[in-house]
Structure formats: structure tokens, C-alpha cells
Amino acid sequence: MTPLEPPEPAVAEGAVAAVVVLAAGQGTRMRSSTPKVLHPLGGRSMLGHVLAAAEPLGAGTTIVVVGAGRAAVEAHLAAIAPGAVPVPQEEQRGSGHAAALALDAVPELDGTVLVVNGDAPLLRPETIRALVEEHVRAGNALTVLTAEVSDPTGLGRIVRDAGGGVRAIVEERDATPTQRQIREINAGVYVGDAGRLRDALGRVGADNEQGELYLTDVLGLLVGDGVPVGGALADDPDDVLGCNDRRELAARRRTLNDRVLDRLMRDGVTVVDPQTTWVDVTVTVEADAVLEPGTQLKGRTSVATGAVIGPDTTLVDTAVDEGAGVLRSHCLGAVIGPEATVGPFSYLRPGTRLSRGTKVGAFVETKNVEIGEGSKVPHLSYVGDATIGRGANVGAATVFVNYDGIAKHHTTVGDHVRIGSDTMLVAPVTVGDGAYTAAGSVITSDVPPGAIAVARAPQRNVGGWVRRRRPGTASAEAAEAAEKRDATPGADGPDLLPRTTTSRES
């Protein structure tokens, strides 16, 4: 093996024949109309995190037991893991019942099976791998993932014998006061032999405080059968934390975020304030990017080296290229080119593509627009359904009028165009290369290259109007004072305008 080759994975792909995720539970404590496993954190649903952690096993079969909120969970599954097979559990009769239904759905399946609770969003692939390795090493029929936690309230306790061998899992509600003192808990992640599991699940009873069929009882039954059973302690107790209510959801989200930020900082990203910076697990950020306070990076967002994001910026599915800056802005599905600058206070919507060195300044909204190299939209504009060439400038308060009430239309602005402030570009319309539009114009037909389009009412000054129509007001007094001053020879001030209607334009 050359040093460059990646290390041989200790668990060969396919060592685990099937992954079973238990996701049918009500999640009553969430008090939500959304099924518990669909609650999002760090860029995936709880279920999505569990499936991602099991993914590297390369199991041929993935089964997800669905019940509560079944239609929604199945739809989500089809979107994120189309290869996974949903197995319905009509009535939630316990985790043992759910696991039995899953194995019944694949009667021909044998070999090793991973069974995992759907509400363990912090589980990492390396933890699952270590569990499978231990299972294989010990030659067990069943190996359960355990953890030492400071507060085991509500969790199943691992009962070991004097020799340290795992004897049983006892749920807190059924535990004796002595058993409740145990701080080693069941993580809800199990690897076992499919045949042994099937057999033991068939023997599980409902003789417990909840009257449910407990998956956890399988362990004691197999111990009774005299087959080897073990427990593998997780390296990081955070990995095994479940999520049963909104407070736990917030805590898991925080832990997940801390892990992501730790990784980014180790990789050379500056995170100015980790407390207010939120980055999804699906995001990539290159070394020497800077994340200012209040930054949120979501979905398929990527940030290249030298880019500065924030403060107070949210990027969703947005690509930011080298050296670009995004300040106090909200961007969805945008592509921000190298050295481009955005903000403060701008809103980039899907289909926005900014080329190198472009500027989208303050209070600008863009949608479905391509802006060419070095072009600028510095202030207070709406740019929708447009192509803008290179080196163009779009004056303040310009609106690309793209919607006629029924359909959207396209505007094309050429290279080095100067769009005057407060221009309405009524699409479909084209402004040719090097053309100008006069400030305040409503452009409804194409402007040829190099022309200036002036499309506004000529100015009319009605002299003396204020004196006549607003007598006695401060404005009238100011006007009179100005007239007197200007009529006095040698006094400072502009020439008196003639009291006639004038127009600046011919």
C-alpha cells in the first residue's frame, strides 16, 4: 500500500446487510403537528441525519418503519433516500413491534442488521463503525451501543453482571431504585444477527409499565439463550443523545453546530463569533474565509477562500466565490462571483448570477438575473428576469418592470450601459451596448446602441404659484424674501426666474 492510499475500512462495505430505522413513534413530547423525525436541525431532518450516519455502511437494504405522520415521512423519505423502503406500523405498539415489522418485510434477509432509533441526530458514521467492528470482533449475536451520561433520566439502563457482561436493558419506568443509579444507558442503536433478532422479537412480551413491546427486551432474551451479547461504549456521549422535546431539539442543534464550526475552524476558517454563527452540515467553507457574527449558512451553500460573509447575513443554497463580500443580506439560490460585493441590506433570489467584480449595493432585490463582469447596481433597485452586460451601471431606484400581471418578461441591458436613476425598464425591452437612459424615464421600447432614451414629461415651472395659491405660508414668505433679495442690485443669489412657464427641454 502506498502512503497516499486511504486506509482500508475496518468494516468492509456490505458487512451490514440491512439498516432498520425506527421512525413510527408519535413524538408526543414535541407537541407538534410535524412528525418528530422530520424536525430539522443543522440542514437535515432528524431522520436525514440518522440515514446519513448509516450511509457509509453501504447496506444493500434500508428500511424505515413509519407510522405517526406516515404520509409526510414517506414523502420526505422519497425525496432524501429514494432507495429506502418504508414499512408501515399502523399502531404504535412499541420499538420491539416496529423492529419485528421491519424484519418481517424482508423475510429472506439474513446476516447482520443495524437497528437504530430515528431520533438520534448526533450519531456519527465513526460511532456506528466502531459498534459494528466490536460486534464482529466479539462474534456477538447482538451488540448494543451504550454511553456513560451524567443525567440518565428517561433512558434505558444497561445492567451488567459482576464480570462486566451485559445482562439486560431496563427502561427507567420499570427499573428498581438501584438500577436507576446506573449511568450507562442504551443509545437505541443495535447491531445483531437477523435470524437471532427475528426469533427473539417473536418472544418479546408487553409485561411492562407501558404495555408495549420493547426492542430492548431482546437483549435479555438472547442472554437467556446463552448466545454472546455485548455492549460497546460510545467514545463521545453526545453521539447517542436522543431528541424528545423542543428543548432537546435546541440542545442537539447547538451541539451539531458546534461540531461543524469546530471542523471549519480547524480547517482554517475564521469564525468571529461561534455563538451566533450557524452552519448546516451540508455547507462547505474554504480556508481563509471569514464568517462574521450573525451569519447563517444553509443547505448547499459554499463559500470560497478569502470571502467575507456577514455580519448578519443568511445564505441558502448560495455559492460565494473567492474574495467576494456579502454584508447584512439574505441570499437564496444565488451565485456570487469572485470579488463581487453584495449589501448591506440586499435580497438575492434564485437565479441571481453575479460575475466577477460586480456590485449589488444597498437595498437591492434581484431575481433570475445575470449581471456581467464589473457591472453595478449600487442602490435601491429591483432587478428581475434580466441579462446585464459588462461594465454597466444601473442608477439608483431603477426597476426592471418584469411582470405584466399575467406573465414575466425579460430585459436585456448591453455592455457599458448607463441606466439613469429612477428608470422603469418595462419588459420585454432591450437597451443596446453603450446606450444611456435619462433619469426618471419609463422605457417601453428598445434603445439602440449608443443612443440616449429620454422618456419623461417635460418640466413646466408655473411662476408665482406659491405666492398666489399658498399665501401666508412659510414657503410663500421664503419665496418673497428670495424675490426681494434677487431684485436688489448687488445682492447674492441666483437670477430671478421669469414668471412664465418654462421647460428645460427643447
- Please write down the HEC assignment for all residues of 338-359: CCCEECCCCEECCCEEECCCCE
CB of 339 to Ca ion, least distance (A): 49
> Are the C-beta atoms of 134 and 15 separated by less than 8 Å?
no
Residue nearest ligand UD1 (C-beta atom): 156
CB of 30 to ligand UD1, least distance (A): 11
Quote the least distance from Cβ 154 to Ca ion, whole Å.
Answer: 8
59, 101 Cβ separation under 8 angstroms:
no
What is the three-class DSSP state of 373?
Answer: coil
Is 118 a binding residue for Ca ion by CB under 5 A? The answer is no
CA–CA separation, 185 and 220 (whole Å)? 15
| Listed ranges 63-71, 112-120, 250-258, 455-463: which one lies at the site for Ca ion (CB under 5 A) | 112-120
Q: Name which position in 61, 186, 381, 393 contacts ligand UD1 (CB under 6 A).
A: 186
Indicate whether 193 belongs to the interface with Ca ion (CB under 5 A): no
Stretch that binds ligand UD1, among 181-189, 262-270, 295-303, 407-415 (CB under 6 A): 181-189
* Cβ–Cβ < 8 Å for 244, 154: yes
String of contacts with ligand UD1 for each residue 209-228, x by CB under 6 A: -----xxx------------
Count of residues in the chain: 506
Contacts of 82 (CB under 8 A, 6+ apart): none
Torsion of CA 220, 222, 225, 226, to 10 degrees: -90
User: Using CA atoms, how far apart are residues 430 and 412, in angstroms rounded to an integer?
Assistant: 5
Q: Is 239 in the site for ligand UD1 (CB under 6 A)?
A: no
What amino acid occupies position 17? A
**Which 223-262 positions form the footprint of Ca ion (CB under 5 A)?**
242
Phi/psi region, residue 118 (left: phi>0; alpha: psi -120 to 50; beta: rest), is alpha
**CA trace torsion 473, 476, 477, 480 (10° rounding):** -170
185 binds, among ligand UD1, Ca ion, none (CB under 5 to 8 A by kind): ligand UD1
Minimum CB distance to ligand UD1 smaller for 24 or for 291: 24
Active site residue 409: no
Closest separation in Å from C-beta 232 to ligand UD1: 15
Alpha helices in 164-288 (DSSP H): 177-180, 194-201, 217-225, 246-266
Q: Judged by CB, which is closer to ligand UD1: 215, or 261?
A: 215
Task: Examine residue 314 and tell whether it contacts ligand UD1 (CB under 6 A).
Answer: no
Q: Could you say which of 39, 49, 330, 379 is catalytic?
A: 379
Report if residue 25 touches ligand UD1, rule: CB under 6 A.
yes
Question: What sign does the CA torsion over 143, 149, 152, 154 have?
Answer: negative
Site for ligand UD1 in 37-76 (CB under 6 A): 65, 67
Nearest residue (CB) to Ca ion, 96 versus 391: 96
Q: How far is the CB of 177 from ligand UD1 (least distance, A)?
A: 18
Q: For residues 136 and 127, give the distance between their C-alpha atoms in angstroms, rounded to a whole number.
A: 14
Site string for Ca ion, 67-106 (x = CB under 5 A): ----------------------------------------
> How big is the CA angle at 84 (ends 79 and 86), to the nearest 5 degrees?
95
> Count of CB atoms within 10 A of residue 495's CB?
6
Is 19 among the residues that bind ligand UD1 (CB under 6 A)?
no
Site string for ligand UD1, 241-280 (x = CB under 6 A): -x--------------------------------------
Interface positions with Ca ion (CB under 5 A): 119, 242
Interface positions with ligand UD1 (CB under 6 A): 22-25, 65, 67, 89, 92-95, 97-98, 117-119, 155-156, 169, 171, 185-188, 214-216, 242
List, by residue number, the catalytic residues: 379
